[in-house]
């Protein structure tokens, strides 16, 4: 469970660090990695087993000196606040013609494909998904997304072939 959580976290960070703009089914343009470095809060997601029972989930992205994107996902067990789960991964863009597509590696040599579905750098929101469209995450620079903005983001995800049925909203009540 910890390994999968790390992979997802790395994907979030990698995708956010690698892109600055993205429209529905559009290609993000790479022009400033620093805009996406730092902490992102997971606001909502489609159900998955590796984040079950967690709250206060974050993804922190950094770039190393070799240009690799490093991702650290963190979540706290709802039933035991002392149980802090961390997953680390690395990510890269395999084809510079498609910077919205990332490879994320939680465990060598296994990689997973992730997509930056949408990013709004002005509001600090991002949508991350997988090509199978079975995994989806809504991220924010802040701990919440106002309802009108969340409705818009869900619409973007649906237009890109993702389901909005069964979204899980993440409790972000932890102090930092």
Say if residues 164 and 156 touch (Cβ distance below 8 Å).
no
Q: In angstroms, how far is the first alpha carbon of the chain from the final one?
A: 24
| Structure confidence at residue 12 as a pLDDT band (50, 70, 90) | very low
What is the model's pTM? Answer: 0.79
**Cβ atoms within 10 Å of 88's Cβ, excluding its own:** 19
Say if residues 24 and 118 touch (Cβ distance below 8 Å).
yes
Sign (positive or negative) of CA dihedral 10, 76, 165, 43? negative
Domain positions in the chain are 2-169
Rounded-to-integer distance, Cα 102 and Cα 93, Å: 5
Rounded-to-integer distance, Cα 83 and Cα 65, Å: 32
27 backbone dihedrals φ, ψ, rounded to 5°:
-105, 125
36-95, pLDDT tens digit by residue? 578 999 999 999 988 999 999 999 988 877 777 888 999 999 999 999 999 999 887 787
**Half-sphere exposure for 134 (CA within 13 Å, toward CB):** 4
18-51, pLDDT tens digit by residue? 333 223 344 444 434 454 578 999 999 999 988 9
Fold exhibited by the domain 2-169: Lipocalin (2.40.128)
Q: In 21-123, which ranges are E strands?
A: 38-45, 54-63, 69-77, 84-92, 101-107, 110-120
Q: For residue 127, list its beta bridge partners.
A: 118, 138
């Amino acid at each position: 469970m910890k390994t999968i959580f790390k992979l997802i976290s790395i994907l979030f960070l990698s995708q956010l660090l690698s892109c600055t703009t993205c429209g529905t089914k559009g290609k993000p343009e790479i022009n400033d990695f620093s805009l996406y470095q730092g902490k992102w809060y997971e606001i909502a997601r489609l159900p998955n087993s590796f984040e079950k029972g967690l709250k206060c989930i974050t993804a922190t992205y950094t770039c190393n000196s070799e240009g690799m994107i490093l991702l650290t996902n963190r979540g706290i067990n709802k039933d035991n606040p002392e149980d802090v789960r961390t997953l680390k991964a690395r990510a890269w863009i395999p084809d510079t013609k498609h910077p919205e597509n990332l490879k994320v590696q939680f465990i060598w040599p296994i990689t997973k494909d992730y997509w930056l579905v949408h990013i709004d750098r002005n509001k600090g929101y991002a949508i991350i998904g997988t090509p199978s469209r079975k995994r989806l995450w809504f991220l924010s620079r802040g701990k919440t997304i106002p309802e009108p903005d969340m409705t818009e983001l869900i619409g973007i995800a649906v237009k890109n072939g993702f389901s909005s049925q069964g979204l899980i909203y993440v409790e972000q009540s932890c102090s930092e």
